[in-house]
Amino acid sequence: MSSSTTDARAEPGREAQMATRVAFFIGGFAMSAWAPMVPLAKARAALSEGSLGLLLLGLGAGSILAMPLAGYLCARFGCRRVILTAGLGICLILPLLATVSALPWLVLAVLVFGASLGSLDCAMNIQAVLVEKASGRAMMSGFHGLFSVGCIAGAAGMTGLLSLGLAPLAAVCGVIVLTLLALFKAAPHLLPYGNDSDGPLFAWPRGIVLFLGALCFIVFLTEGAMLDWSAVYLVSWRDMDPTYAGLGYAAFATTMTIGRLTGDAIVSRLGGARVTIAGGLLAAVGLALSLWVPAWEAALLGYALVGAGCSNIVPVLYSAVGRQTSMPQSAAIPAMTSLGYAGILMGPAAIGLLAHLSDLSVALGSLILLLLFVAASGRYLRT
């Protein structure tokens, strides 16, 4: 018997809203804490660039494989158990990521870390859908904004600790302590139930879920392109000093975070459809500006516009998938999330291949057409 039938379904209130924000913060915090450790792991295991790329692919593969199971377990046992289990899994595996040098064990650690992150991502979005529905107002952008804040805090915190001379294991212990404290604070108010109890373990996205997943894929593809290719473009095409090339992604991430933290009021005022249309157009204009105006200052402004435009599209899509009835939500949310992760995984590699066949400007320019498709699709979203 599922917990959704045995646990009292108290209406989620302010405490559940705060616990959801904490869960999103933990997700971003834990994921980005790994980023400063990547070059250290590469050196410890004596990996080539190609081997490191395959290792990092395992992070996304673990996430995608775990998401359908996480949705099923949320329906069976509730969001609380899945979020806590995933959070504890992250805390247990981080020390291995900081110390292991043998490649087989490092691969296993990355896969488990990815699976824990994917399970947490899926479960916290299921909880977010339930909490937003109960509130009767737009809240999804704010939840995702806390994920972005967590990303900034995790990357900055780990970088700061390592720069002070702490060993990776000692720095990771600081991350673990903060994560455990956050989990302890949130645990009583995480939902002891999920969306439904009759969903399958795995289901291919269909109907509106496939449509929403395709839009999610495009936006995450754009995010992945900004992460992996913005600095390369600034150096190769705009002659920026490599020391400052990270400003491109910083501009994107800053406006995305601000956009999400202020996005609930915007979505409430304009509606999800208009936000998607305007966001897709703004992101397309920003990308065009970065490619067509031959100055690095224009590129930075363009990346900032891409971040602002993309910031609230994915939260709107999660709200929309929470309203659909063509698939059980315990299967629909993991399916859409998996498509989004596929965009992050496959996108940068696809852009690299297209750049090899033509050039990087053409490859990044192809995203403009995809973002215009997102904008054109916005009018089909129910708000």
Q: Which CATH number do you get for residue 287?
A: 1.20.1250.20
* pLDDT above 50 (res 6): no
Residue 365's pLDDT is: 94
The gap between the terminal CA atoms of the chain, to the nearest Å, is 35
Kindly state whether residues 163 and 225 are assigned to the same domain.
no
Residue 131's nearest CA partner among 270, 213, 10 is 10
Q: Do 70 and 119 contact (CB within 8 A), yes or no?
A: yes
The per-residue pLDDT for range 166-186, each reduced to its tens digit, is 899 999 999 999 999 999 999
Q: What is the pLDDT of residues 326-366, one digit of tens each?
A: 888 778 888 898 888 888 877 777 888 888 888 889 999 99
Q: E strands along 42-155, which residues? A: none
Q: What's the pLDDT at 2?
A: 43
What's the pLDDT score for residue 4?
41
Burial class (CB in 10 A: 0-12, 13-18, 19+), 235: middle
Q: Which pLDDT score is estimated for 197? A: 57
203 domain-assigned: no
| 150 and 284 share one domain | no
How many CA atoms within 13 Å lie on the side-chain side of 311?
31
Instruction: Compare 303 and 38 and report the one with higher pLDDT.
Output: 303
| CA dihedral sign, ordered 205, 211, 217, 220 | negative
Is pLDDT above 70 for 7? Answer: no
Query: What's the longest Cα–Cα distance across the chain?
Result: 62
Is 200 within the bounds of a domain? no
Residue 196 lies in a domain: no
Residue 6 has which token pair?
Answer: 């045995």
Average pLDDT, the chain: 88
Total domains in the chain come to: 2
pLDDT at 198: 56
Rounded Cα–Cα distance for residues 59 and 78 (Å): 25
Would you say 158 and 37 are in contact if contact means Cβ atoms under 8 Å apart?
Answer: yes
pLDDT tops 80 at residue 8: no
Q: Where is pLDDT greater, at 138 or 8?
A: 138
Q: Which pLDDT belongs to residue 130? A: 92
Asked whether residue 177 falls in the same domain as residue 236, the answer is no
pTM of whole model > 0.75?
Answer: yes
Sequence length of the chain is: 383
Triad 21, 26, 30: Cα angle to 5°: 155
Higher pLDDT, 231 or 100: 100
Choose the most confident range, by mean pLDDT, from 25-39, 297-311, 333-347: 297-311
What pLDDT is attached to residue 259? 96
d(CA 15, CA 186): 8
In a domain, 257, yes or no: yes
Whether 306 is covered by a domain: the verdict is yes
Instruction: Determine, yes or no, domain membership for 251.
Output: yes
Average pLDDT estimate for 152-166? 86
Instruction: Encode pLDDT of 89-121 as tens digits.
Output: 999 999 999 999 999 999 999 999 999 999 999
Of these ranges, 190-194, 219-223, 287-291, the one predicted with the greatest mean pLDDT is 287-291
The answer to whether residues 165 and 274 belong to one domain is: no
Identify the residue with better confidence: 242 or 150.
150
Same domain for 327 and 216? yes
**Helices 329-357 and 313-323, packing angle to 10 deg:** 140
Model pLDDT, residue 61: 86
User: What amino acid is encoded at 33 in this protein?
Assistant: A
- Last residue of some domain: 189, 221, 250? 189
Calpha distance 287→303 (Å, rounded): 7
pLDDT of residue 226: 87
Residue range 4-13: mean pLDDT, rounded: 57
Domain interval for residue 100: 8-189
Most confident of 63-67, 80-84, 151-155, 351-355: 80-84
pLDDT at 235: 87
pLDDT of residue 383: 54
